[in-house]
Amino acid sequence: MISFFRSNYIITILVLCTTSNIRFCSSLNDPYAILGITKMATTYEIREAYKELAKKWHPDKVKNDYGAEKFIQIKQAYEILADMDRRRIFDRYGVSDINSQYFQKKHDYSEYNRFTLNQNDDDFGQRFNIKQDIAFYQKLSITTNYFEKIILSKNAKKVHVVMFYNDWCFKCTRIVDAFKKIVELLQPIGINFATVNAVHEESVFRKCGAREVPQLVLILGNQYFLYRDHSFTPQKVVEFIRKKIPFNVFKRIEHDNFNEFLEGWMDNRARALIFEPRSLTRLRYLLTAFEFYDRVAFGFVNTISRESSNIITRFKVNTSLDTLILFNEDTTTFTASICMQEIPTQIMVNMVATNQFLALPRISSQNIMESVCPTEWNRQRKRLCVILITENNKKKDIERVVLRDIALNVGYSSEKVRFAYIFKESQPDFIKAISKGSFKDSLIQIVIIWRRDKKRIKYDWVYVAKQNGNSSPEHLINSTKGQISNAVKKLLKNSEALCYEAIVENLFNEHSQGILTKWISQFLYVVDYLSDNIEDEHILAVFSLLGTIAFMFTVGYVLIYFVRVEEENLKAHGQLIDIQDQRHINFIPELKLYELRAEKYNGMVRLLKPGFRTLLLINDCQSRHKLIPYFHKAVWPYRKSKTLLFGHMVIEKGLPWFSEILRLSLSKNRHLQVNPRNCVGTVLALNGHRKYFCMYHAKHPESALGTKRTLRNTQKLLDANEDPEIGRFLKRDFSEESESEPNILLEDHLLNGLDNWLERLFDGRTQKYYINYWPDFITK
Same domain (yes/no): 147, 287: no
Q: Residue 533: its pLDDT value, please? A: 61
* Residue 729: predicted pLDDT: 37
Choosing from 305, 325, 355, the residue where a domain stops is 355
- Find the domain containing 61 and state its range: 31-93
Q: In this structure, are strands 445-451 and 613-619 parallel, antiparallel, or unpaired? A: unpaired
Residue 37 lies in a domain: yes
| Sequence-distant (≥ 6) Cβ neighbours of residue 204 within 8 angstroms | 144, 147, 196
At 725 the pLDDT is 45
In angstroms, rounded to a whole number, what is the distance separating the alpha carbons of residues 661 and 658? 5
Identify the pLDDT of residue 466: 64
Distances (CA, A) of 142 to 69, 137, 163, 196, 602: 18, 10, 10, 6, 70
Do 388 and 306 belong together in one domain? no
Q: What pLDDT is recorded for position 331? A: 82
> Buried b vs exposed e over 318-347: b needs ≥16 C-beta within 10 Å?
eeebbbbbbbbbeeeebbeeeeeeebebee
Residue 35 sits in a domain whose CATH number is 1.10.287.110
Number of domains in the chain: 5
Quote the pLDDT of residue 705.
Answer: 53
Domain end point (choices 465, 488, 503): 503
Q: Are residues 216 and 257 in the same domain?
A: no
Q: Are 311 and 301 in contact (CB under 8 A)?
A: yes
Q: Does residue 234 sit in the same domain as residue 255?
A: no
pLDDT of residue 588: 55
Q: State residue 9's pLDDT score.
A: 38
Do 606 and 752 lie in one domain? The reply is: yes
What DSSP string describes 394-447? GGGHHHHHHHHHHHHH--S-TTTEEEEEEETTT-HHHHHHT-TT--TT-SSEEE
417: nearest Cα among 489, 500, 504, 481 = 489
Q: Which residues in the chain come in under a pLDDT of 50? A: 1-28, 97-131, 576-577, 579-580, 583-585, 587, 710, 725-742
The answer to whether residues 273 and 390 belong to one domain is no
65 domain-assigned: yes
Task: Encode pLDDT of 557-615 as tens digits.
Answer: 999 998 888 888 877 765 544 544 554 445 456 788 899 998 999 999 999 999 999 99
Q: Give tens-digit pLDDT for 180-219.
A: 999 999 999 989 999 999 999 999 999 888 888 899 999 9
**CATH number of the domain residue 675 falls in:** 3.40.30
Contacts of 356 (CB under 8 A, 6+ apart): 270, 292, 295, 296
Q: Report the pLDDT value the prediction gives residue 64, as an integer from 0 to 100.
A: 79
CATH number of the domain where residue 229 is located: 3.40.30.10
745 shares its domain with 672: yes
Q: Is 522 inside a domain boundary?
A: no
Q: Are 166 and 202 within one domain?
A: yes
Which amino acid is located at 579 in the chain?
I
Question: Does one domain contain both 393 and 271?
Answer: no
Model pLDDT, residue 191: 92
- Final residue belonging to a domain, choices 355, 388, 403: 355
Question: Is residue 341 in some structural domain?
Answer: yes
Q: Are residues 180 and 36 in the same domain?
A: no
Domain annotation covers residue 461: yes
Sheet bearing 500-503, strands edge to edge = 417-423, 384-390, 445-451, 456-462, 500-503
238 and 298 share a domain?
A: no
Residue 104 within a domain: no
- Tell me whether residue 22 is in a domain: no
Residues 6+ apart with CB under 8 A from 492: 382, 384, 416, 417
Same domain, 175 and 220: yes
Q: What is the pLDDT of residue 739?
A: 45
In a domain, 238, yes or no: yes
